[in-house]
Amino acid sequence: MSIKRLFALALTAALLFALGTGAAAAAAAAAADFPTKPIRIINYVAPGGIMDITTRKFTEIAAKYTKAVFVVENRTGAGGLVGMEYVLSQPADGYTIFAPTGSVVIQVVSTKSNVDKYIWGFDWVSMLMMDPECIITNSKLKINTWEDVVADAKAKGGKQIWVGPSTGGNDHLMAMKVWDKADISAVWIPFESGPAAMAALMGGQGVAYVGNPADIMGRPDLKIAAVSSSARLPQFPDAPTFKELGIAGLDEESMWRGFCVKKGTPPEAVKWLQDLVEKVAADPEWRKFFEDQGIEVVSYTTEKFTSLVKKDLEDALKYFTQFGIL
């Protein structure tokens, strides 16, 4: 091979090395600089909703650990699909985060929406917390213990009324699981919101409400007849678990809350968010705010979060088919 040819090859190799080194340096610099502009968190609930409160509390606590600027936006409608559609329409750059709850995943199934798009079009980055599902009754009514509910359901032969927010959501799915495991049947009456459904329960329009432990706070007439937890919650020591009541398979049902991003978001942006969530999850103020409500604070990352989303999808498909929703 000629000296000229060898020189040309050496020069080409040097240029390629320089380009590669430069690209790697640029990528490293981008990762180190992220974020360089405000990050938007998109809520699917209206201002004042539990996920709205959660995201705004998150940005408050996160300010202790980062100088990043967060902007919380509310894009409501279609049980979360409007918010998801918006996030999917934005660049996959880490600057637009969706704030889902378990109910959003369930709604995708119950409305027969495109699972590949609305579920697997996202990377499920960080789960923030798990809020135990529970059965709530009106202590002023004759039927208010779990034993009362079961006896009344069997006596009414499927005409007992349960109330909750919306049809085809997480709480509706929980009701179906309970009916199946307890071998009872009832009628689900949906309301526009959780507070509206609880008002109906307090007015005697139903026997049971499906919600979360904090729902009884500030509502002295309401009580927890059964809670989905492996042990009694210290914050609600009078609330029996399903296991105590002889109902198996309902120890880990919850309304989770977390963050996801459009698939294809750079790994450095995902890692940055996960690291921040971990710091916030360990913050005493954050933990107290939610643990006082009986909520388990977590910081599950992609693998575990995704596995829980898959389980929710499987459960929704199974029970919505079994009870004729699909």
What confidence score (pLDDT) does residue 166 get? 83
Cα–Cα nearest to 221, from 200, 242, 237: 200
Distance, CA of 174 to CA of 20 (rounded, Å): 53
What confidence score (pLDDT) does residue 119 get? 98
The three-state secondary structure class of 295 is coil
What confidence score (pLDDT) does residue 313 get? 96
What confidence score (pLDDT) does residue 326 get? 85
How is residue 232 annotated by DSSP?
Answer: -
Which residue segments constitute the domains of the chain, with CATH numbers given? 34-131+256-322 (3.40.190.150), 134-227 (3.40.190.10)
Q: What integer best gives the mean pLDDT of the chain?
A: 92
Which residues of the chain are modeled with pLDDT < 70? 1-32
DSSP per position, 272-293: HHHHHHHHHHT-HHHHHHHHTT
DSSP per position, 140-161: TSS--SHHHHHHHHHHHTT--E
Render pLDDT for 8-53 as a digit per residue (tens, 0 to 9).
554 455 444 544 555 444 444 445 689 999 999 999 999 988 899 9
